[in-house]
Amino acid sequence: MKTKLFPLIYAFVFLVLMSCGKKQETKQETEEIIAVQVQPVSQKSLSEPIIASGVLSSKSEMKLAFKTGGMIKKVHVTEGQFVKEGQLLAELDLSEIDAQVKQAKLGMEKAERDLERVKKLYADEATTLTNVQDATTGYDVAKQNVQVAEFNQKLSRIYAPASGRILRKISEQGELITPFAPVFILGTGESAYIVNVGLTDRDVVKAKLGDVASVYLDAYPNEPFQARITQIAQTVNPATGTFEVELQIQPNGKKLISGFVAKAEISSGKGPVSLVIPLEALIEADKNKAFVYTLNPDAQSVSKHPIGIGAIFGNDVAITSGLTEGTQVVTKGANFLSDKSKVKVIKN
């Protein structure tokens, strides 16, 4: 009986061993490969960012106003409307202005008659050359008065200086407006968007042309827009007591509209030089210690490394120990890894 059982036992053991071998082989074949993005450890000058706020506007914006004051008789366009170059946008009540033009023309006609009369008297030797010169001057002054009156009459209407869109209508029909008070803000095309921020004297000395900044808009929360300083005022704004700095931003393919509230973090780049990695590369961070995954030389697997971290500036983390410049660290996909995980590096 025992003799008959031995072959059956051997066969069963053999089948179990074969099954285990196949499972182990299948497990090795199906080991997961995780897609990651990497970035090299680099040196960078770190400093506390300069924080400021402002309002988004377009470089192509134009403020349109009447040269003279008065009652707005008619507004011919609406906010958001597209207008063509030379199109009439608004006009004042011209009753007073037309009267001034007529008065100036009557004065010129009288000066012209006086000049002709004095010239005849001079030809008859009945007056002096001085009187002729005075009459000539009077006529020239009257002629200039007509030109001034007609110029003011022309600028009592607002015409579009270029084709564009009415971004904002500030005044309405029937309002009494003062000279040079803006009536419209006209956007004349697609151009760079800027943010004007006010810096204190302590901060403005740290900033320089070309400094980079991250701009955050309430319309797109948690999405930074890259920007650079393009202008720095050399005198204080008496209304705010700050120095105006212009930041030109990249739209990132987003729809931007003048008037968006903006917060800027300007990096002056005047701090000490340190080894830095992106904040998203850190895992298991605890005070001044953390871990990162570094890409192995075969570029197909990663290793988990302890590091020492210092200050954090925006998205940059200063490294105090554990890494060398040029080491490739995993920035995206780190949360799905473990030591010796197989990876596939994809481009940013």
Please give the pLDDT value at position 279. 87
Name which residue leads in pLDDT, 254 or 232: 232
* Average pLDDT over every residue of 81-98: 90
Considering only CA atoms, which of 253, 165, 240, 163 is closest in space to residue 198? Answer: 240
17-26, 111-120, 219-228: which has the minimum mean pLDDT?
A: 17-26
Please give the pLDDT value at position 328. 92
Indicate if the pLDDT at residue 58 is higher than 50.
yes
Indicate if the pLDDT at residue 208 is higher than 70.
yes
24-38, 49-63, 84-98, 187-201: which has the minimum mean pLDDT?
A: 24-38
Tokens standing for residue 68: 């003279």
Percent of the chain with pLDDT over 90: 28
The band of 30, judged by pLDDT with boundaries at 50, 70 and 90, is low
**Can you tell me the distance from the alpha carbon of 321 to that of 94, in angstroms, rounded to the nearest whole number?**
77
* Average pLDDT over every residue of 293-298: 90
Indicate if the pLDDT at residue 282 is higher than 60.
yes
The band of 190, judged by pLDDT with boundaries at 50, 70 and 90, is low
Tens digits of residue pLDDT in 314-339: 678 888 899 899 999 999 888 888 88
Indicate if the pLDDT at residue 132 is higher than 50.
yes
Please give the pLDDT value at position 269. 62
32-46, 78-92, 98-112: which has the minimum mean pLDDT?
A: 32-46
* Average pLDDT over every residue of 20-37: 61
The band of 26, judged by pLDDT with boundaries at 50, 70 and 90, is very low
Side chain identity at residue 155, one-letter code: L
- Tell me the CA distances in angstroms from 277 to 283, 286, 330, one per residue in order: 12, 16, 10
Name which residue leads in pLDDT, 14 or 164: 164
Cβ count near 126 (within 10 Å): 10
Residue 142 CB partners (closer than 8 Å, separation 6+): 104, 107, 108, 110, 111, 112
* Average pLDDT over every residue of 230-234: 91
Q: Judge contact between 327 and 41, C-beta under 8 A.
A: yes
Indicate if the pLDDT at residue 12 is higher than 80.
no
Ordered structural domains, the chain, with CATH: 33-46+272-345 (2.40.420.20), 50-59+191-266 (2.40.30.170), 61-93+156-187 (2.40.50.100), 95-154 (1.10.287.470)
Q: State residue 105 phi and psi, 5-degree precision.
A: -70, -40
